Chains A and B, each alone.
Chain A
Amino acid sequence: MSWAGPEDVYLSTSLASYLDSRVLQKNCFLVLKFCCLSIPLNPGFNVDFELSTSEKMLEFRNGGSTNHFFTVEVWWSNAIIHAAEKLLVLLRDGRKLLGILRSFDQFANAVLEGACERVIVGDLYCDIPLGLYVIRGENVVLIGELDSEREELPPHMTRVSAAEIKRAQKAEREASDLKGTMRKRMEFLDMD
């Protein structure tokens, strides 16, 4: 893909803009895989430089004022962002993964570090640790930033062990299967 105009760069980066200044403010540096370069991103640090000349993909701009931090526009997939932000990733099969985003690209492929799956059955929940996960973009439904000041779950929900949540999950699945077969048997009644 050839280098696009500045407008296109901005537009192809909604995932990048997801990691907007708010996320980056908290993070200390950004590593470019291509150039093995670490750039400190401290608030107020004056950066005005561009790597867009060849097929390099990052452009840094200072917001102009001292209390406006950097906008970082990521073009292509080779930037690894060291973000200490906890994210929630919803997958197409309904799974909910929590973890720290380490990398992503334009397909929403993503690398989650310290990932865990949050299983919720009724009022019970459990975080099952998974480790490092690479998620193929097509399975991603939503990536949400968790607000650390808010409760992650409503207060009436209780945390249980992995074994217990598996049991609850199985019971729920059996109940829904039973409901399905009952409905099938009743079909001749033509309830609609």
Chain B
Amino acid sequence: MLFFSYFKELVGREVTVELKNDLAIRGTLHSVDQYLNIKLENTRVVDQDKYPHMMSVRNCFIRGSVVRYVQLPPEGVDVELLHDATRREARGG
């Protein structure tokens, strides 16, 4: 549940979601759920020419299981805080 809470903090930020089929989509994080399904708004595909069918998609729902990476804004990560939280989780607290 840690990364779920973490992603909740990122709502409203601009992120790039890279999928397992190599499609990379940039957009504003609108919402996220416990499966880490993601909804993006104002989306644009990074490699527009390769994926012409995505041209008119303005907002989309991405299934969590197909996400490979989520690229975050640098200021969106508080590394110290995340360290502490992961340690706490590993201890089972």
Chain A contact residues, CB within 8 Å of chain B = 8, 11-15, 17-18, 88, 90, 92, 94, 96, 108, 118, 120, 137-138, 140-147, 150-154, 157
**Segment 12-67 of B: residues with Cβ below 8 Å from A:** 19, 21, 23, 25, 30-34, 37-39, 43, 52-63, 65-66
Tell which of A94, A143, A150 has the most Cβ of chain B within 10 Å: A143
B55 A150 Cβ-Cβ under 8 A: yes
| A-binding residues in B (CB < 8 A) | 4, 8, 19, 21, 23, 25, 30-34, 37-39, 43, 52-63, 65-66
Whether A145 and B60, one on each chain, are in contact in the complex, defined by CB atoms closer than 8 angstroms, is yes
Q: Which residues of B contact A14 (CB under 8 A)?
A: 31-33, 37-39, 61
Give bound CA distance, A96 to B21, whole Å: 13
User: Distance in Å from the Cβ of A77 to the closest Cβ of chain B?
Assistant: 14
Closest to A98 in B: B53
User: In the complex the two chains form, what is the Cα distance from A103 to B25 in whole Å?
Assistant: 25
Q: Are A142 and B55 in contact (CB under 8 A)?
A: no
Contacts of B56 in A (CB 8 A): 146-147, 150-153
Closest to A15 in B: B61
A128 to chain B, nearest CB (A): 14
Smallest beta-carbon distance B66→chain A, Å: 5
